[in-house]
Structure formats: C-alpha cells, structure tokens
Structure 1
Amino acid sequence: MTPIDRSRLERLTAAETERYVSARPKARALFERAQNSLVGGVPMQWMSEWPGGFPPVMTEAQGARLTDIDGHRYIDFCLGDTGAMFGHSPPAVAAVVARQAAKGLTAMLPSENAVIVAELLAERFGLPFWQMALSATDANRFVLRLAREITGRPKILVFNGCYHGTVDETIVSLEDGIPRSRRGNVGPAFDPTADSRVVEFNDLAALEAALKDRQVACVLTEPALTNLTGVVLPDPGYHPALRDLTRKAGTLLVIDETHTISTGPGGYTRAFGLEPDIFVLGKPIAGGIPAAAFGMTREVGAKVRDRLYGPGTSVAGIGGTLTANALALAAMRATLTEVATDSAYAHMTKLGERLAAGIRAVISRHDLPWYVTQLGARVEYRFQPTPPRTGTEARAGADGAVDRFFHLWCLNRGVMVTPMHNMLLACPATSEADVIRHDEVFGEAVAALLGS
C-alpha cells in the first residue's frame, strides 16, 4: 500500500497553515482580542481544536452553507457536529422560533407542545414515556440517577472509547486493560472507576463478567461508538447478545442516539430493531435550539413515576429551571413534524452513500491503507487500514498529523469537515454538487500528499 512521506506532509501542512492564517485576518484579530475576555480566546475549549491556530468565526449559516467573518463561504459537512444535522436554521424551525419568542420563552410551566412532542417521540421511537432535558449530557446524567434509584444498584457500565457528553461517570477508559479516569478529565468530582465499569465494545465475554455480580444498574452505550474514536461498528449479533446479557443480569439498557440518529428517522434503534429500556436523544432534535429528551419503557416509566411523583416525594439532582422551556418544545415539534421527515432522511442517506463511495474511490485509486464508515447521513474516514472493533484499536490507529493536513486543505478550499474525527454529514439542503465538490477537494489533497 502507498506510504505517506512524513516530511512532505509536514511541508504541506505548514503551507496550508500559512494560507489559512493569511486569508483570515478578521478572525485572527478577533481571536487575539478575545484573549482579554475569553479563556483561551474561545467560548469553549473544544473550539480551539480547529486547525490553523484559531477557529473561523461564523457570521451566518443557512442550510448547508456557512459564511465566516472574513467572507469565506463553506459547504458545511460539519453541521455543528450533528447539532445542525438537518441544516442550519431550517425554515420551519426558524419560523416557529420567531413566533414562540413573541409569545413567551419560558415560564416554568408545561406547554401543549410538551404533550405533542412526547406523543411524536413515542410514535417515532417506540417507547411510551418521555421526559425532557436541555442537552444529551443532562439527559444521560438524569438517566443514570434514575437507573440507580429504581434498581437499587450502585454501578454503571460504559464502553471504552464511548462518548456521552460530559457526564462524570462516563469519562473513564481502559489503558492496558486497566480502568482509569480518562486522560484530560478535568478536576473529576470523584474517581470514575469507583462507580463505573468499563469494558471494550464488542467484547461480550468481558461484558458478561462485568454484569455477573448484579451490581450494575445500567449499561449506557451508543449503538456504534462515535465521537472519541471515529465510528466503531458493532459486530454481527452484538446488540442481541448485549440485550440478552443485560436482561439476564437485571440491568437496564440505555441507548444514547445523540450521534447515531443520522442512521434514519428512528435512529439506529429502529433501523436495527434494538430494544432499550431507556433511549436518549439530544443535539439535532430541536433543529439547533438546545434540547434533549429521554424515553423509557412502560415498566421503567411506572417505576420512575412511583419514586419521583408519589405523595411526599422530594427530587434532587434531576431537571433545571429552563428544562422543557416553551421555545425548545416548539422547535422540537417543528423539527419532528416538518424537518426530520422520511423524505429528508432518504435524501440525506442517498448523499451519505454518495460521499462514502466517492471517498472510497479515491482511497482505492491510490491504494491507500484507509477506510470509510457510513451511518445513514453520517460518513467518516480514518487513516488506518482496517475498521477497529474496540476503542483501544481506534485510538491506536489515529493519525493526528494527517487529520490536521486534510482539515486545513478542505477549509482553504471552502469545504468544512468536523476537525475532531473526520466526520461529514449530509443535510436536507446538501446537494449532489456539494458532494462532488468534496470529492474533488479530497482527491486533490490526496494527490498533493502523494506528489502525484
């Protein structure tokens, strides 16, 4: 297979960095100004991970296009890292947000839309009872508390390389087979290995052993690992076995579809017939407005109701003043009924297939040891020869230097790809021409890297 000349890669990256910086004087000036008021010059640390030394600064985003402060217009395949999976400012959501803003944003009271949204979620995802949150992180945090409460068990289990937002118990990893607080875990409130068990994805023997003592309240998992590792797909038969093992152990199964909702209208869960006890969804559910929801089976819902809503109950640690605010619920209703439709998903998935095929064609043409994974509208490419089965394998195969080069090359040519994990999304506004342009830019980057 074709090797990468590392000295050539370094020279090309330096040239692309210089091109990036020189073409964005306003973003650079704003970043330097921000050093006096924003820690690190950005509102959140992860925004510093864009290559080039500082991030582009957004001024406008519509559909599949984003414009930055220096006037550059991008075909946006990042789409807010799934937050804008259905395109930036979908017209139906923008219109209802404007109407609701004029009528009231939040009141610490339920709205009619809360009932309608819960009914829509139940119909779409198959779980009858729902509760709301402001983010998937919040939803996952609430779910872990509820799982412990109704099972009376102290432990939770996650998979190495998982991503469930910033939930304390999930910021844990395996290093040389030993559970540890994940590197970079900032000021942990407690040692996550005390309350969390972590095993490798696709390792059913390790999962069975971890559940054997019946101390695990719930397994929290993505249907396929995403953010931290790139996509790691389940082995054939893995999910039925996971469901069987959790049921035998009396452990709840929580499926977090915050990223894998790209798979289809009902997510990976509906597409592959998964049977979670609890289902979590965040990011794109309100078309870009902060919102999340978690659903539960009738049995779990009854247990939650008895413990949280009975006479004399007092609830701490779940919910917040802005949870289920009127604005978010209006946006969720519009997204579920007018934006995240079957026809939209059909278009998005078709273009996802086209993206994956185009990238594979370039890889094959140049005989490169890379691979591509697709989950409906979501496509990721990785610079390693075979798809990993575990988080450890995925981390071991990461190539940050090649990542950086490709991200810069694409940005400098008007194509935006998620910088942390080479993720591309097709939204309802993405066109065939957009995909063709990505193929051209990707192919040019490969040719430059190989000197061909």
Structure 2
Amino acid sequence: MPFTPYPQLPALLAAEQAAYRERNPLSAALAQRSSAHWLFGVPLHWMQDWGTPFALHVAQAQGAQVVDADGHTLVDFCLGDTGAMFGHAPAAVVQAIAAQAARGSTAMMSCADAAWVGAELARRFGLPQWQMALSASDANRFLLRWVRAATGRSKVLVFNGCYHGTVDDVLVDLVQGQPQLRDSLLGQVYDVREHTVVVEFNDLDALRAALQENAVACVLAEPVMTNVGMVLPEPGYWQAAQALVREHGALLVLDETHTISSGPGGYAQAHGLQPDALVLGKPIAGGLPCAVYGMSAELAERAMQAKRAAPPGHSGIGTTLSGNLLAMAAMRATLEYVATPAAYEHMLALAGELAKGLEAVLHQHGLPWCVTQVGARCEFQFGLQSPRDGSEAQALFAPELEHYIHLALLNRGVLITPFHNMLLVSPATTQQHVQQLLQALDEVLAPLRV
C-alpha cells in the first residue's frame, strides 16, 4: 500500500463536511438557486470536484486571495488550476482589458499588439511562428491537425496519464500494459486507438518500439507530467527521447500549459529542450481565455504549404474569437508587466521554501509521503518516492484522503487544487501565506497520526 489506511478518516471527513455547511450558508443558498438551471448546479461540472457538500461560490479574487460568498478570505494555492498562476486580477492586465474593451473586444482582424506579442513569444520560447486559440485544448487540437497535414502521418503518441485538455485523441490510458479508452470519456463513438499510441513516461524502450513503424506524426507531451500527479523526467530522458523522435521522422510537441511555472520561457527553455511546436494556455493572458501555439520555421513552412495546397474552405483549425483584441491586449500586458523575470525569481524561491516546509510537516507527522517540485508548482503524493510514470502516479491516488485534506484546509482558510495535492505560488504569494498553509496542514494531518 502506498499509505497506511486511516480508520478515523470517515469520521474526520464527516466533521469537516458539517463544518463546511455551517460555515457557508450563502454559498449553500446560491448552489440551491443555481441547481435549477445548470447541470450539476454549476456552469462547468468540474466546479463540483472540490469534494465539498455543495459548490463554494466566489465573490472576488485578487492577488493570492479569494473571498467567498460568505465573506471568508482564503489563501489561494490553486490559482484557478494555473489559470491565475500570476495572481488574480493583476493590475496591468485589468487596466489593459478595461482600455481595450472600450476600444472593442473582437473584430476578426489583427491589431498593433500582435506584432509585439509575436516577437516576445518568439524571444521567450525560441519558436519563430505562432497562432492563437481560446484554450490549450483548442491549441493542442489545432496543432495535431497542422502536424498531420504537414507530415502526411496520422498517428499521435502520448504518455499514459497525460493531460492535454479535451482533445479526443489523447484520452487513452494503459491498463495492465494495454491501451484502453479512458473509462470516464463520455459519448465517444469511434475508437481513437486507431490513430493514438500510448506508452509510459520515462520508458525509452517503449518509446523506441512505438516509433519503429515511422507512422507517428508527433509525440505530444507535457515535459513534466502534472495532472496525474507530478512525474518528473529521469535524468537524460528528454535528450534521448528527442533524438528518438527525430530519428524516426516524427515531431515533438510540448504542452507547457502547466510547466510554464518553470521560468519565463517555460520548462523547455530552462532545460534546453528543442520542440518542433509548443502550446501555452491558461495563465498566458492573466486568466482571460486564451492560448497560443508556436512552430519551428521548418514546421511552419510545411504547415503553410499544406494549407496552400488544400482546396479553399474551412480548414477545421481556429475559431471566430481566436486572436480577439481583448485577449491580445491581456496577453501583452501579462508578458510585458506580470510574467517578468523578477516575478519568477520570487515565485521559484518561495516555492522552494514551500516544498521544504511541506517535507518538514510530513516528516513531523511520520507520514511516508513525498514532495515534488517543478518551478513554482509543487505537490505532495502518498508514496515514499515520486512516481516514475503515469501508472505509478495513479496507484498513489487516495480520493477519500484527498477530499478530507482539501476540505479541511478550505475550512481553515486555504485552497489547494481539488484534483490532486498540487499547490502554486504566484507573484502575490507571501511567506505569511506559506506559513498559513503549513500551519493549517499541520492541524489537518495531526488526527491521522497513529
């Protein structure tokens, strides 16, 4: 077992659920009113995944804090699951959005900010050609089309436990070594395994075997797996994997939507990786719906040739609001004034302190759990060592234990990501916020000691 079963857990969870109900009467009333017209009572069903008896409702969010409908101020280490990684409502982004909204939000035409943003993206992330989308899901979906058109190949290779949004092609898992459509995938009517290959992360032999047929258009990967619980690449893995990908004529597409926490140029720039394409979403426009994807000069030329050679008409790539004026203004403000080297210096240093603090609290309580850090992002997992691949990471899940910890922290004024035990540090996060989290966690874990 990755952790000791706790017989006291059901009683602890029930007590925290009762405390939540008593603490949040206005959220309860709002949840009841919303249930009449929203599926599961919320605008997006994921908003019910916090493990709370009813959905928590937000009144406002600024910096590293959220104020809920009942007036409680919560220190936020979830930060919109990375969407607000640079803090809620950064002043420069708020001002840019307000100014641009007065001048128009969308026109399906380019603007002056586009030249600056394109040059800055190229400088930061090392790829010369870019396009915009409304979400990383869309950006991944569109890139797969471009890559398949450019290479003439149909298959995409992903890693077991990966997360690239709601792209059908990637929702394949390995179950006892065999590819299987994800059990939770609703309404799927065709078998994506015909065009999707899945292997374990960090397994070079499996990657080599999967590429042997020279039929894979691209490897789509997070440089660090983040949504199945954090899984770090082993030393030398990406250098060898990149060489294999290129040896077999495939392309490397890195989804940096989460690993942009690694530095101003993301994980690839910080660690010397050279992808053919890159996806950035969530925080890139300060929390406004927006994503971008970049291409190498060679891939961009092949993609444009494929488009020019195709008959006129809809390419299946892009949406009307992609590249809208409002998102472009927000992205420029984020890149120019918010996601700065100074901001990252603060975030990375404080995340390091947070990781050490988490380790100390876990050690104090004798819990055999590990802490993993990627830039401004860290996570504690219910095992002695960080997992090596998606299967190992999934084996460390403990939903009831997670629900107790998350809900108990929330009741003590601290938010962490509801899907797993992930915490983010923003430019607005302070040492006082970190200490508040560590003190709350110490109190929450104390009843688990045996």
Q: Residues of 2 paired with 1:3 and 1:244: CA distance? A: 38
In 2, are the aligned partners of 1:136 and 1:165 still within 8 Å (CA)? Answer: yes
Quick one: which amino acid aligns to residue 241 of structure 2?
Answer: L
Please, which runs of 5 or more residues in structure 2 have no aligned partner? none
SS in 1 for 2:8: helix
Instruction: Extract structure 1 runs of 4+ deviating beyond 6 A.
Output: none
In 1, are the aligned partners of 2:20 and 2:52 still within 8 Å (CA)? Answer: yes
Shift of 1:279: 0.5
**Comparing 193-202 and 49-58, the one that deviates more:** 49-58
Aligned to 2:373: 374
Aligned to 2:87: 87
1:226-266: CA deviations, max 9, x gaps? Answer: 11x11000111110111000100000100000001101111
SS in 2 for 1:7: coil
Distance 1:247 1:73, change over 3 A: same
Aligned to 2:150: 150
Distance 1:15 1:109, change over 3 A: same
Aligned to 1:253: 252
1:193-241: CA deviations, max 9, x gaps? Answer: 11100000011111111111111100000001111x1100011111011
- Structure 1 residues 75-114: aligned runs within 5 Å: 75-114=75-114
- Structure 1 residues 163-174: aligned runs within 5 Å: 163-174=163-174
Aligned to 1:426: 425
SS in 2 for 1:173: strand
In 1, are the aligned partners of 2:2 and 2:383 still within 8 Å (CA)? Answer: no
Matched, 1:34 2:34: yes
Q: Residues of 2 paired with 1:209 and 1:442: CA distance? A: 44
Aligned to 2:351: 352
Distance 1:311 1:388, change over 3 A: closer
Aligned to 1:6: 6
In 1, are the aligned partners of 2:366 and 2:449 still within 8 Å (CA)? Answer: no
Identity of aligned residues (%): 51
Q: Residues of 2 paired with 1:127 and 1:30: CA distance? A: 46
Quick one: which amino acid aligns to residue 225 of structure 2?
Answer: L
Quick one: which amino acid aligns to residue 118 of structure 1?
Answer: G
Quick one: which amino acid aligns to residue 178 of structure 1?
Answer: Q
Q: Residues of 2 paired with 1:189 and 1:322: CA distance? A: 28
How many correspondences in the alignment? 450
Shift of 1:189: 4.4
1:28-73: CA deviations, max 9, x gaps? Answer: 1211222210011111111111122222101100000100111111
Q: Residues of 2 paired with 1:183 and 1:355: CA distance? A: 35
Q: Residues of 1 paired with 2:193 and 2:182: CA distance? A: 10
Quick one: which amino acid aligns to residue 202 of structure 1?
Answer: N
SS in 2 for 1:19: helix
1:275-317: CA deviations, max 9, x gaps? Answer: 0000110000000111000111110111112222469644421
In 1, are the aligned partners of 2:2 and 2:382 still within 8 Å (CA)? Answer: no
Quick one: which amino acid aligns to residue 346 of structure 1?
Answer: E
In 2, are the aligned partners of 1:129 and 1:295 still within 8 Å (CA)? Answer: yes
In 2, are the aligned partners of 1:153 and 1:215 still within 8 Å (CA)? Answer: yes
Aligned to 2:226: 226
**Comparing 379-388 and 233-242, the one that deviates more:** 379-388
Give the TM-score taking structure 2 as reference length. 0.98
**Comparing 309-318 and 403-412, the one that deviates more:** 309-318
SS in 1 for 2:358: helix
SS in 1 for 2:186: coil
In 2, are the aligned partners of 1:308 and 1:314 still within 8 Å (CA)? Answer: no
SS in 2 for 1:436: helix
Give the TM-score taking structure 1 as reference length. 0.97
Quick one: which amino acid aligns to residue 240 of structure 2?
Answer: A
SS in 2 for 1:105: coil
SS in 1 for 2:197: strand
Please, which runs of 5 or more residues in structure 1 have no aligned partner? none
Q: Residues of 2 paired with 1:2 and 1:106: CA distance? A: 51
Shift of 1:367: 2.4
Aligned to 1:449: 448
Shift of 1:401: 1.5
In 2, are the aligned partners of 1:2 and 1:366 still within 8 Å (CA)? Answer: no
Q: Residues of 1 paired with 2:410 and 2:335: CA distance? A: 32
Aligned to 1:331: 330
